[in-house]
Amino acid sequence: MPLDQREIIETIRMTTAEHLDIRTVTVGISLRDCRCDSAAATGEKMAAKIRRVASGLVSAAHQVASEYGTPIANTRVAITPLAIVADGFSASEMVGIGRDLDAAAAQIGVDYLGGFSALVQKGSTIGDRALMEAIPELLSTTQRVCSSVNVASTKAGINMDAVNVMGHAIHATAEKTAAANGVGCAKLVVFCNVPEDNPFVAGAFHGVSEPETTINVGISGPGVILEAVRTAGDCDLGDLAETIKRTAFKITRMGEMVGRLMSRRLGVPFGIVDISLAPTPVEGDSVAQVIEAMGISRFGAPGSTAALHLLNDAVKKGGLMASSYVGGMSGAFIPVAEDAGMTAAIEAGALSIEKLEALTAVCSVGLDMLAIPGATTPQTIAAIIADEMAIGVANNKTTAVRVIPVPNRSPGDHVEFGGLLGSATVMPVPRFVSDEFVSRGGRIPAPATALTN
């Protein structure tokens, strides 16, 4: 479908006061040709390639944003999962390479670099284990590098050995960044059915089936959807879904326009538009407030799951009509600390971990930016991960866990993370434990529905 630039500009003008932005333009870069005999040489070669391919990203984003009146909130780089390229190096060597990547990201001026990652849904290699061991040290000593580990898939089941490792990695990362309320964990996510072209951090990486380089765009727009729902007034839910779908169509068209412009400016092939609704802490830019505008008194009340399903489905349908290249995670995010409406719902007592887990069955992506007590044990964190992975495996969808055990904080305490990471109220975790279950290890088998070949 051809893009009408005047249509896009009109959409931008209409939504100036509604917090519409391009959340990220992410350059994906294959680093598979950067392996050298030593970790030091490998890190240097990786950093050099990142500088060569993506050095113009930030300036091009500023130019496009200025010329077309389209705010671009973040610029990012995603690389081949490091555990693949650096397999065989030790944990300390992985940390050294990660610091080289962080320095390269700082030199070209991007906000984040994703890809300190491993894919271990069926088992782990020496490199996978070294990378997971390196995560706490790396995330506590760098600013821009983000990490993700895929521990489950519908085809493979759930690797409980890796789930246990990640429970400890999250706990250790929180302890190492205790002075900043455990914020290192905001750069770490555990996945089921991870997509290879996701432009959003902390989970972005450049999959092995991707081309040499690519441009992927992540849109935002909860504020635009919120205004559309409010303007729709007292219509039935079918008409409301149609309103959301039409609005998502306009937002996605803008995202594709920006992506293709950036592609031409940088000489990097255009990849996908991720049509996820990504909220911010700004009032009015909230997925929770969209649900409340539908008629739910407080996000988390009965009916919230059905309303979120309506929103998620309508956004996907509108986006699919607007672009032939929709990818990533594409849905409505519910990152608790990054959404002012969700934080308010927790403070009002409307949201619990159990309700959030139920909500993740119908949206993207999972338990996201959730602050929990610092005393939560690694075993309980692993059990929380396992529950969310089970939802993803059983429903053949992407799910994830990005939790922050805030050191020395208890349920009800309010913590600040800063910037787009927002703030959160520490949520209680059930006092009953599952240590014996998670300590069994092994792999929970794939479901019968996985046998679709």
CATH code for position 82: 3.20.70.20
How many independent structural domains does the chain possess?
1
| Residue 326, in any domain of the structure | no
**CA dihedral sign, ordered 329, 330, 331, 336:** positive
| Residue 323, in any domain of the structure | no
Q: Up-side HSE of residue 334: CA atoms within 13 Å toward CB?
A: 33
Q: Per-residue pLDDT averaged across 84-107, rounded?
A: 98
| Residue 141, in any domain of the structure | yes
> What tokens does 211 get?
């081309």
Indicate if the pLDDT at residue 401 is higher than 80: yes
| Residue 40, in any domain of the structure | yes
| Residue 185, in any domain of the structure | yes
pLDDT tens, residue by residue, 142-160: 999 999 999 999 999 999 9
Q: Per-residue pLDDT averaged across 123-140, rounded?
A: 98
| Residue 403, in any domain of the structure | no
Distances (CA, A) of 331 to 19, 117, 313, 348, 427: 18, 23, 8, 26, 24
- Per the structure, the complete domain to which residue 120 belongs is given by 28-56+70-192
| Residue 49, in any domain of the structure | yes
- pTM of the complete model: 0.94
pLDDT of residue 9: 58
| Residue 241, in any domain of the structure | no
> How far is Cα 264 from Cα 262, in angstroms, rounded to an integer?
5
Of 65-69, 188-192, 293-297, the poorest mean pLDDT is in 65-69
pLDDT of residue 7: 57
pLDDT of residue 285: 85
Pairing of strands 213-219, 270-274: parallel
Query: Residue 333 carries which side chain, given as an amino acid letter?
Result: F
